[in-house]
Amino acid sequence: MIFGYHGPGVGGDADVYWGLASRFRKDGNLSLLNFDSSLRGYLFPLLLMPIKAIVYFDFASQSFMTILFNSIIAAILFGFVVPKLYLIIRPSCIITPIKLILFTGLSLFFWIGYFNYTLTDFPAMLFLGLSLLMLLNNNNNKIIFILIAGILFGAAVNFRPVYIISVPFFIIISQYSIKGELKFFRKILNFVIIIVGIGLPMLPQLYINNKVFKENTPLVLTKNQTDRGTDLLLAQLGWALQMQKFETAFGSAPGGRNAVVFYRNPAGNRLLNDNGYKSSKLWGVVFTSKTQYLELVANNPIEMVGIYLRQAFNGFDQHHNTPYIRRPIQDFTLLLPVVNYTIWFGVLLLAWPMLRNVKSIPIVNILAILILISPCIVASLMAMETRFFIPIHLIMYALLSFEWKSIMLNKWLNKDIYVKIFVVCCYICFVILCLRFSWLIHEQQYIWSPN
């Protein structure tokens, strides 16, 4: 990880979470009720407390402990969880050490900078993957595994509230992931156990919300109390129409600026103006209720589909492997995007033969994929950051790394020479079109500083 180090975060979510780790202690007293953030969950800052204590007593630096913490997460996620999940979903696949190295290499190549900061994206992905693994690998229908799976999933939801969208699929898969027929009452028991498991990590959040914010919900409030209790989801729905991509923050390096970079959304802003929605400031509230947003979608379905397709492209289109960079990013980068587009094209080639047998895919596998990608679909409705699509990115790396040899050799390399030439030409055109589309988005770049 040290080779991808970009310096400690200055501002942004990374420093917010690091600061929240101190909120549990106040006036010498340690209590959950001291945690007063309504915007973020309690659990990730609580996990950071021991790390911050080590740093506080000068046993190690913040940078070292952050990298060590995230290195453990990366090792478990890339070396065990993702490959194991892939083997359960694709049991015919053989994952050799070379394939595993390729998968890990791609994952680190695109995301290594994120492991230098205290962000929730990969920890949440790890907990989500572990919870799914506990269910899918529970061949003997052990109640304790179902309970642990629920606890891990509940923790992932507290880390990243958008994962709540996967709850229905997660509950359903708990009924399908066991071999053999289940009696009706055992299905009910599994349902109760999974709900209890999901709820356990949320009980402290319910306690905090009730005592501190007078709200009776076990979910993270996602409200900004310093801005009149603004609902983050509602704000994000409006921001997504103002800016199609929120890429990064920078300022950690000498001479850097404390600024953020976003990409204007001309189509979205035009749609807002035509329908009388305006905000007095960039990060202001566009919609005052979800009904207003739904009415806008219902009255402009074609325009909204086009806007969200661009949002989805932005979720895939990665230009930097770190959330906080050392220099302004007016320059259009090429290395990461070209490698990224090559992966897209390779995944399309690999997926094509698989899609021909889509009817034979077990329902459990479909549900597992929905659990992973449904938060990404919801994230397409928000001010997009590429990290919101981490589950889909990891699926693509796994597919390419674990399947390329068998499928590519059997399905494509044995084709006629003219087919191969056609595929190469398609690849070149695909990359050029992606670069062109990415450049058009890049032209909307705007650097905004609060100072």
What are the extents of the domains in the chain? 2-223+335-433, 227-331
pLDDT at 280: 53
pLDDT at 1: 46
Q: How far apart are CA 140 and CA 134, in angstroms?
A: 11
pLDDT at 353: 73
Q: How far apart are CA 35 and CA 210, in angstroms?
A: 12
Residue 30 backbone dihedrals phi, psi, to 5 degrees: -105, 120
pLDDT at 327: 61
pLDDT at 4: 46
Alpha helix stretches (DSSP H) within 213-289: 232-242, 266-274
Q: How far apart are CA 346 and CA 326, in angstroms?
A: 31
In contact, 65 and 8? CB cutoff 8 Å = no
Q: How far apart are CA 444 and CA 246, in angstroms?
A: 11
Q: How far apart are CA 414 and CA 419, in angstroms?
A: 10
Q: What is the pLDDT along the chain (451 residues), one digit of tens a residue?
A: 444 444 544 457 888 999 999 999 888 888 999 999 999 999 999 999 999 999 999 899 999 999 999 999 999 999 999 999 999 988 888 899 999 999 999 999 999 999 999 999 999 999 999 999 999 988 778 899 999 999 999 999 999 999 999 999 999 998 875 555 567 888 899 999 999 999 999 999 999 999 999 999 999 998 876 555 567 888 889 999 999 888 766 654 434 455 678 888 999 999 999 998 876 566 677 888 889 999 999 999 999 999 999 999 999 999 889 887 766 556 678 899 999 999 999 999 888 777 777 777 788 888 999 999 999 999 999 989 999 999 999 999 999 999 887 766 666 666 778 888 888 999 999 999 999 999 999 888 877 765 5
Q: Three-state SS for 217?
A: coil
Which sign, positive or negative, has the C-alpha torsion 124, 126, 132, 134?
negative
pLDDT at 87: 94
Amino acid residing at 345: F
In contact, 368 and 149? CB cutoff 8 Å = no
Q: How far apart are CA 434 and CA 334, in angstroms?
A: 11
The Cα-based distances of 49 to 17, 121, 410 in angstroms read: 10, 18, 51
pLDDT at 234: 86
Q: Say how many Å lie between the first and final Cα of the chain, rounded.
A: 32
Number of Cβ within a 10 Å radius of residue 332: 13
Which DSSP symbol is given to 298?
H
Number of Cβ within a 10 Å radius of residue 227: 13
In contact, 67 and 116? CB cutoff 8 Å = yes
In contact, 199 and 218? CB cutoff 8 Å = yes
Q: How far apart are CA 80 and CA 194, in angstroms?
A: 23
Residue 243 backbone dihedrals phi, psi, to 5 degrees: -135, 130
pLDDT at 204: 97
pLDDT at 2: 44
The total number of residues shown for the chain amounts to 451
